[in-house]
Chains A and B, each alone.
Chain A
Amino acid sequence: MIPIGRATRRTLLRAAAAGAAATAAGCAGGTRSVQVAVVWSATELDRFREVVAGYPAPVHVVSAGNDIDAFLRARHLAGTSPDVAILPRPGLVTEYALRGWLSPVRASTEYAVPAGLSDLLMTRGRRYGVWVKAAHKSLIWHLPSMVPQPPGSWDELVSLTRRLGALARRGSGPAPLAIGAADGWVLTDWFENVLADLAPDAYDALAGPDADWQGRPVRDTLDRLAELWSIDGAFPGGGRRALLTQYEESVIQVVRSRRAVMVFEADFTAEVARRFLPGPEEASTFRFPSARPDAAGPLIVGGDVAVALAGARGGVELVEWLTTAGSFQPWLRAGGYLSPNTTIALDSYADRLRHGLAAEMRAPGTLRFDLSDQLPGPFTGSDGVGIWRIMQAFFADVTDGVSAAEAVRRATGQLAAEARSAGGGR
């Protein structure tokens, strides 16, 4: 179909939809509410509704389910796009902006995010989105009674895993690590932390168009992961079993059934753990250890972006309002929310964990945005697809006795091939 025909049709559809909406609004006799499609559900959805209740105009929040991309495509076809959408990946922002689906947005004066986050939402020199929620993805959760002295460096983590692993093999203790390897994103988060620690510059390059997936930094990173993951007895039930363990089950293995003593994942693990608390002991956290004993360790951040869709009414204003320091106060008070906005007073965090993490995000250091969320096309990963599948194959190899060199060779070959076919990398 030629572009002109498409534009004409879309204009027609939008005109028709606007007409219908106007009629509906006219019948209701009030102002039309701003429609926001979000990726959240359950508690998070309720919290966000509390947030937008503070907006001066009425706001209607709909949950788009797991695949907001498909949702927005369908609504775009129907000419009934929402006014604002919350997207889980910055890659989508660029994609939509290039297709002309988005309006440029403004941020309020009270909005500042850590360096390296803001640029991700710029396309052709204009800002198309703002960060509204962050996830701290460099945490290792553990039971303090089992790990009294958190490892201070990567090597200490490896030796601790060796020691506990040997005990676990003899049947006289829980395994050192739980890992939800059935969910590919858990493995890519591991990969990103080690890579950001080893080679922060290469990390940035991998997100770009000239990524070198067979270069030294990637190989070194995989080598390190192999060093830890191949330890005998590292995971409860072994590697085969870990590949069938989903993320939430891995948390249960630590906080509830105590078959492992540590689990690596983001700050939202706190909410999962709370649902399965055994009572006496709460899991606490330490930062993902750096290879250098004195360094602070990597900080990988994930996040959700608010965008205004083209032709929306009141969308740009709502997005701007979401960047004010006061807008997310209800969620901050209720806990379970980490803001990307560094102008928000640390004291407004009611939840102790998030308070500490927000401080970490403001400290100088190697803060990087989640790499797999920036990768192009299907390479970004989903179940059985892209980098998720490759990391799972790598995990299967190293836990199954394949030599590290061979496993790394296979994985980098696949990464490079996948990156090429997705239109990035070489």
Chain B
Amino acid sequence: MSRVPVLGELAVLDDVGPPRRGRAYPAAGATSALLLPAIVLLGGLVLWPVLRTVHASVTTDGHWVGAEHFRTALAAPDTGAVVGRTVLWAVLVPAVVTALGYLLAAVSRRSQEGGLVRLILLVPVALPLVVTGVTFRLMYDPDPGRGLFTLVAARLTGRSAEDAPQMLGPGLVTVALMSAFVWAWVGLAVLVFRAALDAVPPSLGDAVRAYGGGRRHVLWDAQWRPLLLRTVAVVFALVAVGTSRTFDLILVMTPGSVRDEAAVLALRVWQTSGGTTTGEGAALGVVWLAAVVGGILVAALFVRQAWPPPRAEAPPGPERAAPPWRVFRLLAAGAAVAWLVPLVVLVATSLHGQVDAAARGWWSTRPGAGSYRDLVTGTELWRTLGFTLLLATVVTATVLLVALLAAYPLAWLTGPAAQATGLLLLAASVVPVQVIAGPVNEVLGLVLSSGTARGLALVHVALGVPFAVLVLRNAFADLPAEQVRGARLGGRRWWDTLRRLARHNLPAVVAVSVLEFVQVWNDLVVGLLFSGPEATPLGLFVAGQTRSFVSNSGALAASSVLASVLPVLLVVLARRQLVAGLVSGGVR
């Protein structure tokens, strides 16, 4: 919260009202028009498709059939298992990520190597989920001659290769998928917890100790109660919503024969409806949509206003630099090594040519650059990289522009109106795209861009705008009064004001840009559903090769490495702004 030195200034700028919002009203007419691009995009490509899906779930060829599709879909023999698995994902995985995230954030604090540990944990966060899938499938390869994990498991259990536990087999495939997901997300949890721990004033702990409290009391009264409870809620909700993206992992990691054993609602909706959304597929989609949106709204109500923006965090007091226990430091180091193993497997596999990577383990042959040479000398990778770069850049720029325009007038809303728009934007930002694929294609058909690069970009923009608006709106509303005042006095027109305000909001703008860019770069599902023949986005390019995973593993690993360089760099460089952006904008 900003400290306003001269109380009178508030009165000059604004009326009474909640201190965070409503400091200055822009002229109503002109600025409401700024909302138009966002409204058209969201209305056309999110709201209308959602309504069409709901409509399709209760009709057949336009005739009302009531709950019939729901009954059929839910009565199908394995729907129960699929729903159960989806719920398991949404409960178990966030719990593990939250617990691990807190633990690792706590043990990597204030030690010299802690920064390195956190950096290693952060790399998987930036990887495309497709690449994570490729990495873990390499590691879990059922052949002990190629799969490191299977080899180690066979040695440890003392069983033959044939009886060794197979992570990709029907029994363990969900565990394998979850482990990959946890690996990818823990870094984010660590980042958020670390910001939270740093924001806890050290004096609080001293006070508890002064009253005779032990370590346990400090943890409870000086950390958990004031802050961590809410942080846990943020992280849990963030990861729970994230589990609806397991789709990419399942598509890449599971061989066809175990896909059923791994299926969650995301996959089932895609399998039953494909590019058209009708009947049972629509019914399943509506169920899923209701669960996701309901979940996020409950989480948001829980979390709202609870999060102090980490930008306001106090610098950690130098007097409290007691290093953590030795056992904790070992734990942190162990985690870093464990997190490094999959990365090593990926890079090592990529250093083998097609034949070697397919026939033998990466540890048993000399490395070479054969797979990279084949990729780099071919034209396909360059076309894909170029197209994805262009797509991500154009989409990011468009999202930023549309979101800045929309966030400006929205930031001055107060009271229930502000809350309602916040919740709406939050709900819109978590709509699973598989659910609305059919209607979105219809809308794209109307603007003659279905199955084209333009259509693909439009869908990305529409899906990215709600979250971007949310983050920027909150950032505008949180600006200190003197800055708002300066901008309003200095800017002669609304766009001058907007420009000045955006400059004050640089961290939020950076966060939105990086997130959106990485999101588009790493995407698989939007490309799968909407891309055209002119060019293949990166995620689809990599996922397409998994149709013959083993025979392509060299090329797959090499293209995965090349695909990951840019997002990893961006996320590592912008990690502070990202956390700030994520938590101030709610959860995604």
Contact = CB atoms under 8 A, between A and B. Distances in A.
Contacts of A333: none
A75 B534 CA distance: 12
A17 B548 contact: no
Nearest to A77: B445
Interface in A362-418: 378, 382-385, 388-389, 392, 395-396
B447 to A, nearest CB: 9
Contacts of B371: none
Interface stretch (A155-163, A249-257, A348-356): A249-257
A388 B359 contact: no
Nearest to B536: A65
A13 B448 contact: yes
A383 B533 contact: no
Contacts of B354: 275
Given A252-B359, A256-B359, A384-B260, 5 more contacts: A78-B448, A80-B452, A245-B550, A246-B550, A246-B551
A158 B131 CA distance: 42
A45 to B, nearest CB: 11
A74 B450 contact: yes
A384 B441 contact: no
A390 to B, nearest CB: 11
B263 interface: yes
A362 to B, nearest CB: 32
B455 interface: yes
Contacts of A395: 257
B257 A184 contact: yes
B326 to A, nearest CB: 43
Contacts of B258: 243-244
25 contacts: A17-B448, A62-B533, A63-B533, A70-B275, A71-B532, A74-B450, A74-B451, A77-B451, A78-B444, A78-B451, A79-B445, A80-B451, A184-B256, A237-B143, A237-B162, A240-B169, A244-B166, A245-B550, A246-B255, A249-B550, A256-B358, A382-B256, A383-B259, A384-B256, A395-B257
A384 B259 contact: yes
A203 interface: no
B200 interface: no
Contact of A181 (B257, B445, B536): B257
A129 B483 CA distance: 69
Contact of A77 (B257, B441, B529): B441
Interface of B: 62, 142-143, 161-162, 166, 168-170, 255-260, 263, 267, 271-272, 274-276, 354-355, 358-359, 441-442, 444-445, 448-452, 455, 529-530, 532-534, 536, 540, 544, 547-552
Contacts of B544: 65-66
Contacts of A291: none
A161 B311 CA distance: 70
A27 interface: no
Interface string A254-296: 0011000000000000001001100000000000000000000
A238 B162 contact: yes
B276 A276 contact: no
B445 A78 contact: yes
Contacts of A62: 533-534
B334 to A, nearest CB: 30
Contact of A275 (B274, B549, B551): B551
Contact of B532 (A74, A246, A396): A74
A181 B256 CA distance: 9
Contacts of A252: 358-359, 550-551
Given A17-B448, A249-B550, A257-B359, A78 B455 contact: yes
A37 B533 CA distance: 9
Contact of B448 (A16, A67, A243, A276): A16
Contacts of B257: 181-182, 184, 243-244, 392, 395-396
Nearest to B544: A66
A89 to B, nearest CB: 14
Contacts of A16: 448
B448 A74 contact: no
A183 interface: yes
Contacts of A20: 448
A140 B576 CA distance: 59
Interface in A54-81: 62-67, 69-71, 73-75, 77-80
Contact of B550 (A80, A248, A385, A388): A248
A243 B255 contact: yes
Contacts of B441: 73-74, 77
A331 interface: no
A1 interface: yes
Contacts of B449: 78
A276 B359 contact: yes
Contacts of B259: 383-384
Given A65-B533, A256-B359, A276-B359, A247 B548 contact: yes
Nearest to B543: A66
Contacts of B143: 237, 241
Interface string A297-340: 00000000000000000000000000000000000000000000
Contacts of A396: 170, 257
Nearest to A66: B544
B442 A77 contact: yes
Nearest to A75: B451
A384 B260 CA distance: 5
A254 B547 CA distance: 19
B451 A71 contact: yes
Interface string A13-52: 1001100100000000000000001000000000000000
Contacts of A240: 162, 166, 169
Most buried by B among A69, A78, A272, A276: A78
Most buried by B among A378, A384, A388: A384
A1 B439 CA distance: 13
